[in-house]
Chain A
Amino acid sequence: MFSTGDQTPLAVIVRNLSVGYDESLILENVSFKVEKGKIAVILGTSGCGKSTLLKALIGLVPPKSGEINILGEEIGTAGYPLSLRKKMGILFQASGLLGSFNVFDNVALPLRESTSLPETWITEIVMLKLKMVNLEDHAHKMPSELSGGMKKRAGLARALVLDPPLLFCDEPSAGLDPVTAAELDELFLSLKELLNVTIVVVTHELLSIERIADRCIMLDRSVKGVIAEGTLEELKVMDNALVRAFFERKPRFQPGS
């Protein structure tokens, strides 16, 4: 659970990646890189394959072809190295809390499964993480008793409980109020600055992107892959109609036309 400072400056490298279900390909020939200690945002309109890309990165969908390198470990079509799973935290869109465990046990689960710490230490680590997301008073509640934002924060505490050097988030601010969403953004920034965590966020919240993104990777359905990559400023001045439409919040087709 300690992250060593190995020297490669890249946390995620994706080369010519193609992902799909059954016969149809959702992503074709996608390539990009994420530097260590930076926040990369994968953005795009609905249905462009953002979530599929994330699923491929965390090993839920095997790639059809191409390579993924995460923290120096190669992931081909062969399979996903288990040791890598301990090095990354994942915040799911619907938080992915186990309904039969309370918040405390949900957050403690990775510690109990992959470390041999005594229960007193587990308690303190879990409470520390819950404090970080302001949920320390709700430790004994079941996920069904939590609001959407609280569930998301509990999911984040669980994703961070092993101090992973790499964090993946699927639409962290979807369904959250602006205040909670802003708090989440600040949390991401402090994780990056203080603990040097690399964060890959899938989102389409413009405000959130502006606040946290070091690098943007924009996908689109039309090319089944990356249409633009760079800093937010670079993307904003790009001459691509699809990129412009995204940042100017323009509809692609007018209703009634």
Chain B
Amino acid sequence: MINKPLQGMSSKILIPNGDQLSFYFYEPPPSSLLPGLVESFGKIIQVRSISKVNILIGEGVNLNTMLFLFTLKIEEICRSKGITLECIIEGENNRQLIEIFKLQYQKISFSQKPSIGERKYGLIEKLGRTALNGLDSCKEAFKFFLDQISAIAKAVVNPRIIRWQELAYITEQTGSRAMPIVGIMSFLIGLVTAFQAAVQLRQFGANIFVADLAALGLSRELSPLITAILMAGRTTSAFAAEIGIMKINEELDALKVMNVDETQFLIVPRIMGALLTAPLLTVWSFFTGLTGAMFVAFASLEVTPVSFLTEAYEIIKMSDLWVGFLKSILFGLIIGNIGCYMGIKTAYSPESVGRKTTSSVVTTLFLIIVADAFVTVMAHVFHW
């Protein structure tokens, strides 16, 4: 027989009584209390000899997972120490629960912990795996690149398969809508470059050469680069996210099942759009940049716009324009391809969209700088 706690003692849960120990739950205990209770119980039975443990759950307390776990843990400790456990559950509501409670005893054991996480590899194995994975993804990306080139070639040979409407839309999105930002950026960069040069040039009275500097610098280097960097931020990320989310929404699978070539349907218009807009935006960037430089030349170097333009026209050779054009074409190819590739490689989770979008921008920027260096070195070697 268990002694019920006296009036006013209901707040006390753990009550020792001779060689017996009783837990009283006459009101719902706060859940954070129970783990500590189990811990102190474990300590108590080490210092006191206990022969019997009672758990009494009152009428107003609904049995729930926490109380069940608590009872389970106490039972486990009691069993290992050879202590008898009596569990009394009061109340109409809880009567039927006793059976379930008892049933759960037999059913559930926590001997097996959940297996969480993946296999762990050693340092060297990890290094090797990373290297091999990197190599594989490089190979895959290169193959994708070649596939797209051939797909574009196919579309050029047979223009009927091009989705002109989509191409026009993408050209608008990546091209005309980028014009304000590209224009402002180029204008400011032309302005800043000319300002920096102005200080030096004025010392030698070589004011007119600001036109040479701006024209050559912009046409060969700055305009393609500014345009490409902005397009990496605006266009590559948009392509990757668009295609990635289409993949998650099973739109790509639907296309495949409907026997629609996803390359021609989605990717070719995007890459062609980027290929088309990159040189056009570069030209736009060249002229706005030149305007910025001309502004500074007029305002602080006393070079009139007419003499500025005449000087710029004389210094620029066809080869300078060709190098700039070549770069912009290469950059456009990189921007379109990486964006679409990362979109296609997205896994079926929202997190992956974010990761691939980030990685598309970073990879594009990296490849743009690599391609830029390559073309510049080649131009130097072959005296372009």
Contact = CB atoms under 8 A, between A and B. Distances in A.
Asked whether A and B interact, the reply is yes
A120 B116 CA distance: 14
A140 B116 contact: yes
B114 interface: yes
B31 A123 contact: no
B98 to A, nearest CB: 11
Interface stretch (B63-71, B135-143, B152-160, B215-223): B63-71
Given A99-B350, A100-B351, A143-B349, A5 B93 contact: yes
B114 A128 contact: no
Interface string A101-120: 01010000000000111101
Contacts of B347: 144
Contacts of A100: 349-351
Contacts of B28: 2-4
B113 interface: yes
A129 B65 contact: yes
Contact of A128 (B63, B100, B108): B108
A104 B114 CA distance: 9
Given A2-B62, A129-B65, A144 B116 contact: no
B110 interface: yes
Given A125-B69, A194-B100, A140 B117 contact: yes
Interface string A143-169: 110000000000000000101000000
A165 B32 CA distance: 19
Interface in B23-42: 27-32, 34-35
B349 A123 contact: no
B259 interface: no
Contacts of B67: 2
A194 B99 CA distance: 10
Contact of A99 (B27, B65, B351): B351
A223 interface: no
A162 to B, nearest CB: 9
B379 interface: no
B223 to A, nearest CB: 40
Given A3-B28, A115-B32, A196-B93, A128 B115 contact: no
A245 B31 CA distance: 49
Contact of A163 (B65, B110, B114): B65
Nearest to B355: A100
A5 B28 CA distance: 10
A131 interface: yes
A187 interface: no
A194 B64 CA distance: 10
B349 to A, nearest CB: 4
Contacts of B64: 1-3, 163, 195
Contact of B116 (A99, A102, A117, A118): A102
Contacts of B65: 125, 128-129, 161, 163
A2 B25 CA distance: 12
B60 interface: yes
A3 B62 contact: yes
Contact of B114 (A1, A136, A193, A194): A136
A115 B29 CA distance: 13
A129 B63 CA distance: 15
Contacts of A140: 114-117
B61 interface: yes
Interface in A64-109: 99-100, 102, 104
Contacts of A4: 27-28, 60, 62
B60 A121 contact: no
A194 B62 contact: no
B131 interface: no
A139 B31 contact: no
Interface in A8-24: none
Contacts of A193: 96
Interface in A184-240: 193-196
A133 interface: no
B13 to A, nearest CB: 13
Nearest to B107: A131
B3 to A, nearest CB: 24
Interface string B105-139: 00010100111110000000000000000000000
Given A125-B66, A195-B64, 11 more contacts: A1-B64, A2-B29, A4-B60, A100-B350, A117-B35, A120-B35, A123-B113, A123-B114, A140-B117, A144-B348, A194-B97
Interface of B: 27-32, 34-35, 59-69, 93, 96-97, 100, 108, 110, 113-117, 347-351
12 contacts: A2-B31, A2-B67, A100-B350, A120-B35, A127-B110, A131-B108, A139-B114, A142-B349, A144-B348, A161-B65, A163-B64, A194-B100
